Amino acid sequence: MIQWFKLVARNAWRQRLRTWLTLAGLVVAILAFGVLQTIISAWYAGIDNAVPSRLVTRNAIAFTMPLPHSYDKSIRAIDGVRGVTYMNIFGGIYKENKNFFVQIAIDAGSHFDMYPEFVLSDETRRAFMSDRRGAIVGRKLANRFGFKPGDVIQLRGTIYPGDWEFVIEGIFDARDPKADTSQLFFHWDYLNETLRARSKAQADQVGFFVVDVADIDRVNEVSQTIDALFRNSTTNTLTETERAFQIGFMKQTESILVSIRIVSVVVIGIILAVMANTMAMTARERLGEYATLKALGFGPGYIARLILGESVMIALIGGTIAIALTPPVASRLVALTETPLPPLIVDTKIIALQLFASLAVGLLSTLVPMHRAANIRIVDGLRAVG
């Protein structure tokens, strides 16, 4: 076995330029595959982290249509409801159109009790609660624009026209490193009071309610009760689990994610073709050597294992390098892009996929060369010498 391994290693580096070029292609392909799979995983992180006991109540017609704020008291009174909060997507522009990030008007008194996954200090929370124009920003957003406590920023409203001024009161983090912290939260009361003066038709409305159910076994019951309560109202509701709500929201970008998946598979297919061509050239050049080995008594299986070992060795070296480069490249991608990507955390599942892809390329690329070399006749092989 040791002798076989030494022979495989020497064969792998006999054509150094070819091996280096093949390795470079493998690294790029497996690296691209890993980064693209990480983007997909990060995009679905919200679904994976959804809390089973949380429900989302929205307008039954469309997510973009509001609900009356007065529904709040009625929902709180339902048996089994432990807590309720509400919010509006703001959709403002900071300086330039390209500076997109999520801004949400929240019920400051209940939001962070409902979402304990967000971490902020008591001092930050007190400062936020004491200033009606106050806002808090996520760590990622603060790093992106250099926001710090005390800064006064202005957003140009799109859904709610006009210029809106906010005071940054603090920065929040997330308990889960995969969680996105590129949002800005501000007071729903500030939004509503301003709308009463500017646009009464938009006042006293919320985008959706988030409901915390005390007993997880009663989630479906509470969901049905909420919708039944407003069935004969002017605005009907649709209540679903947080996970279902996230899935529905993600379907709006499903075509993009499918495209990313296809590209990641195509990349592996391309490097598989390149690797197969490399191994075919290698086997063709060594037909005389394989015939000589057969003449010395080595069987077809031994020759096939030489080709397979060489291919797998090259593939694993390239895959290992790619796996090592994936985390820093993913982090750099987030830092460089102006689009607010969620945190790109390379988990063990992605590493396993990269390793599997490397092995698959190493194995599949040798099927034809192995068969041809193992079954070559000694006479035909020796004829190729010289």
CA dihedral (309, 312, 314, 318) in degrees, to 10, reads -160
Q: What is the pTM of this model?
A: 0.73
Stretch 29-35: mean pLDDT: 91
pLDDT at 335 over 80: no
pLDDT at 386 over 60: no
* 71-101 confidence digits (pLDDT tens): 999 999 999 999 999 999 998 999 888 888 8
Stretch 255-278: mean pLDDT: 85
Strand locations in the chain (E): 54-59, 67-68, 81-89, 102-106, 118-119, 134-138, 152-157, 162-174, 183-187, 205-206, 208-213, 237-241
Give the sign of the dihedral formed by CA 322, CA 327, CA 332, CA 337: positive
> pLDDT band at 383, cuts 50/70/90?
low
* 177-199 confidence digits (pLDDT tens): 777 788 999 999 999 999 998 88
Maximum Cα–Cα distance across the chain: 95
Cα separations (Å) of 179 from 25, 116, 119, 183, 261? 33, 12, 11, 11, 22
pLDDT at 288 over 90: no
Which residues does 143 contact at the CB level (< 8 Å), separation at least 6? Answer: none
CA distance 271 to 365: 9
- Dig out the tokens for 23 from the structure: 């390795």
